[in-house]
Structure 1
Amino acid sequence: MDRLKTIFMGTPDFAVPCLRVLQEKTDIMAVITQPDRPKGRGHNLQASPVKQAALEYGLPVLQPEKIKTEEFTARLEEMQPDLIVVVAFGQILSQRILDIPRLGCVNVHASLLPRYRGAAPIHWSIINGEEETGVTTMLMDAGLDTGDMLLKDKVAITPDMTTEELHDKLMDMGGRLLSDTIDGLAAGTIVPEKQDDSLSNYAGMLNKETGHIDWTKTATEIHNLIRGLNSWPVAWGMLEGKNYKFWRTRAAEGDCSQPPGTVTELGKNSFKVATGKGLLEVLELQPPSRKRMSAGDFVRGHGVEIGAVFS
């Protein structure tokens, strides 16, 4: 069987295992990724992880500022790919682009569709306390993650799992699922399945305010927010007018008679804060203008006292 001619569109590290699979199984005509962006204190231009991987493979890289222009769309049409694979690319495809490949445009999405559509499905699955998630491959249409589903794979979300940990599991899973999807499409053995829109939950963009802790919520809800925003954008609270970032916690039982946000107990390796229901045990945090540290070191350094109140 002739190898499929493909185009890959992706940007972050999450997409790299899928690019690797496509490189092994197909003839990649072009890799399309976001333009180099300034990063770090020096604001030096930095290539995306997908561009870096593509250059290692010796693949041609295209970086349009806007993919839907007449000129760039015509260029894609001239390539006549059998399949376009899209993984966390960062731009919306026009219907004209979606119509180019004979096998369609396949997206690798980091949730069990239709549950979490949108930009941040991994974060929101943890923030909302889900016990499982996974990866779905789908045929793209003009909607936001609304296309017909092809294959799925699941993974359990453990009570202390962070977004960073879940991201790495789903990243590897995405590559494996794409491999099976390509085989199934080439053989004609996959039957696309319509999504039930009534089961959808929008996983919107995150920003700094998403991480502002509301101490009147339950300890479990706050714990889920903290692990869901680890390692970005990170949950935070204020103490004496200064911003503290929270990296690792756990929900604990205990006396909640103190106002939410009040430090109720100092331990050897942690300290506890009252919430709307239950206590939040803080294990790792980041004081203002300092590096991440264990809560034990923070307590031993007299960083907090019983009765202090996070707002």
Structure 2
Amino acid sequence: MPNIIFMGTPDFSVPILKDLNEAYGVDLVVSQPDKPVGRKRIMTPPKVAAAARELDIDVYQPENIKDEEAMRKLESIDPDIIVTAAYGQILPKALLELPKHGAVNVHASLLPKYRGGAPIHHAVMAGEEKTGITIMYMAEGLDSGDIISQKEIPILEEDDTGSLHDKLSRLGSELLLETLPSIFDGSNESIPQEHASATYSPNVSKEDERLDFGRPAHEVFNHIRGLSPFPGAYTKLGDKRLKIYGAKPTGEKTAKPAGEILGVHDEGFLVAAEDEALLITEVQLAGKKKTTAKEFIQNRQDLVGQSLG
């Protein structure tokens, strides 16, 4: 069996790790350091590190993968291949050149579109009709290496980043296992990316999370579902932050000012966007629990006529 180092951090990478380990065995898992989580700031391991320990795989969590100590640790494995999936640090050239069969990455977009750390969020927010997985040889640039294989899936109207994340995680695992034999025997026909066509998907910022109801309703809908279930798009209701996790375009034209709460609906409440009413279905007011918009509006019908934003 080949010596394999797997590098990943969030839950997206867990199915990929598990299936890779079952098929080939993984000799070392490299993940980001533990971080404080929640209001009590409890030190918590990344999902991949926790999964690796359950599988009885050695785990290494360096602060900086470029440190000499980290390089010595990985050299000691004498890897035939390094597989990364949402690891979160850029690998140095010396590490990319270490494995006999190279370092490959499982990336959640159809490269060269959506290079970077948040490809699923940005694809949904942009209203893309399809996305997919790319298996690529890693290079020094950000997600710029040669493409080995790709597989696409549609982005459905009912998808949000959460549902698409789960689909792409499974697809990434399947495509990796389909592709690895051609990597090990050198028979794959990898192709350079069209760098002029590259687009980027940086990690979501606080500014990205703020909603603008002055845009067309379908763009606001894409923004909301692109940030659901995490980190959540938000607007302001009076002086409080209101996160919105679920919405639907209605097709109902309106001339009311953007952001005005138009009325109560069986599934929640209606808000004016630039061109039509948007149905809000799931919300969370600052300091409160997430709830259906229907439950939220039941005792707040005086909000009709007020504005969000």
Normalising by the residue count of structure 2, what TM-score does the alignment of the two structures yield? 0.96
Aligned length: 309
CA–CA distance in structure 1, aligned partners of residues 95 and 66 of structure 2: 8
Partner of 1:168: 166
1:241-256 superposed matches below 5 A:
241-256=239-254
CA–CA distance in structure 2, aligned partners of residues 27 and 226 of structure 1: 39
1:188-199 superposed matches below 5 A:
188-199=186-197
CA–CA distance in structure 2, aligned partners of residues 75 and 181 of structure 1: 27
CA–CA distance in structure 1, aligned partners of residues 301 and 182 of structure 2: 57
Partner residue of 1:67 out of 65, 88, 107:
65
Moved more, 279-288 or 116-125: 279-288
> What residue identity is the alignment partner of 2:36?
P
Partner of 1:139: 137
Residues 304 and 107 (structure 1 numbering): CA distance in 2 closer, same or farther, change over 3 Å?
A: farther
Partner residue of 2:287 out of 266, 273, 289:
289
CA–CA distance in structure 2, aligned partners of residues 65 and 299 of structure 1: 46
1:69-84 superposed matches below 5 A:
69-84=67-82
Question: Could you tell me whether the CA contact under 8 Å between 2:111 and 2:193 is conserved in 1?
Answer: yes
CA–CA distance in structure 2, aligned partners of residues 214 and 79 of structure 1: 50
Residues 78 and 277 (structure 1 numbering): CA distance in 2 closer, same or farther, change over 3 Å?
A: same
Q: For 1:23-75, what per-residue CA distance to the aligned partner results, in whole angstroms no more than 9, with x for missing partners? A: 12324221111111111222121111111111122111111111111222133
Query: Are 1:115 and 2:113 counterparts?
Result: yes
CA–CA distance in structure 1, aligned partners of residues 201 and 180 of structure 2: 27
CA–CA distance in structure 2, aligned partners of residues 49 and 130 of structure 1: 28
Residues 282 and 305 (structure 1 numbering): CA distance in 2 closer, same or farther, change over 3 Å?
A: same
Secondary structure of the corresponding residue to residue 283 of structure 1: strand
Partner of 1:129: 127
Secondary structure of the corresponding residue to residue 51 of structure 1: helix
Shift of 1:122: 0.3
Residues 304 and 232 (structure 1 numbering): CA distance in 2 closer, same or farther, change over 3 Å?
A: farther
CA–CA distance in structure 1, aligned partners of residues 301 and 235 of structure 2: 14
CA–CA distance in structure 1, aligned partners of residues 57 and 111 of structure 2: 31
Partner of 1:24: 22
Shift of 1:188: 2.5
CA–CA distance in structure 1, aligned partners of residues 143 and 56 of structure 2: 31
Q: For 1:181-240, what per-residue CA distance to the aligned partner results, in whole angstroms no more than 9, with x for missing partners? A: 212212322110111112211001112221111111010000000000001111111122
Shift of 1:267: 1.9
Moved more, 132-141 or 235-244: 235-244
CA–CA distance in structure 2, aligned partners of residues 27 and 114 of structure 1: 30
CA–CA distance in structure 2, aligned partners of residues 34 and 304 of structure 1: 48
Question: Could you tell me whether the CA contact under 8 Å between 1:85 and 1:107 is conserved in 2?
Answer: yes
Secondary structure of the corresponding residue to residue 76 of structure 2: helix
Question: Could you tell me whether the CA contact under 8 Å between 1:269 and 1:297 is conserved in 2?
Answer: no
Residues 256 and 288 (structure 1 numbering): CA distance in 2 closer, same or farther, change over 3 Å?
A: same
Secondary structure of the corresponding residue to residue 64 of structure 1: coil
1:155-234 superposed matches below 5 A:
155-234=153-232
Question: Could you tell me whether the CA contact under 8 Å between 2:284 and 2:291 is conserved in 1?
Answer: yes
Shift of 1:268: 2.6
Shift of 1:265: 2.5
Residues 303 and 142 (structure 1 numbering): CA distance in 2 closer, same or farther, change over 3 Å?
A: farther
1:86-97 superposed matches below 5 A:
86-97=84-95
Secondary structure of the corresponding residue to residue 106 of structure 2: strand
Shift of 1:276: 1.3
Q: Which runs of 5+ in 2 are unaligned?
A: none
> What residue identity is the alignment partner of 1:217?
R
Secondary structure of the corresponding residue to residue 237 of structure 1: strand
Question: Could you tell me whether the CA contact under 8 Å between 1:160 and 1:250 is conserved in 2?
Answer: no
Question: Could you tell me whether the CA contact under 8 Å between 1:119 and 1:204 is conserved in 2?
Answer: yes
Question: Could you tell me whether the CA contact under 8 Å between 1:208 and 1:233 is conserved in 2?
Answer: no
Give percent identity, aligned residues only: 38
CA–CA distance in structure 2, aligned partners of residues 304 and 156 of structure 1: 41
CA–CA distance in structure 2, aligned partners of residues 231 and 52 of structure 1: 22
Q: Which runs of 5+ in 1 are unaligned?
A: none
Question: Could you tell me whether the CA contact under 8 Å between 2:133 and 2:151 is conserved in 1?
Answer: yes
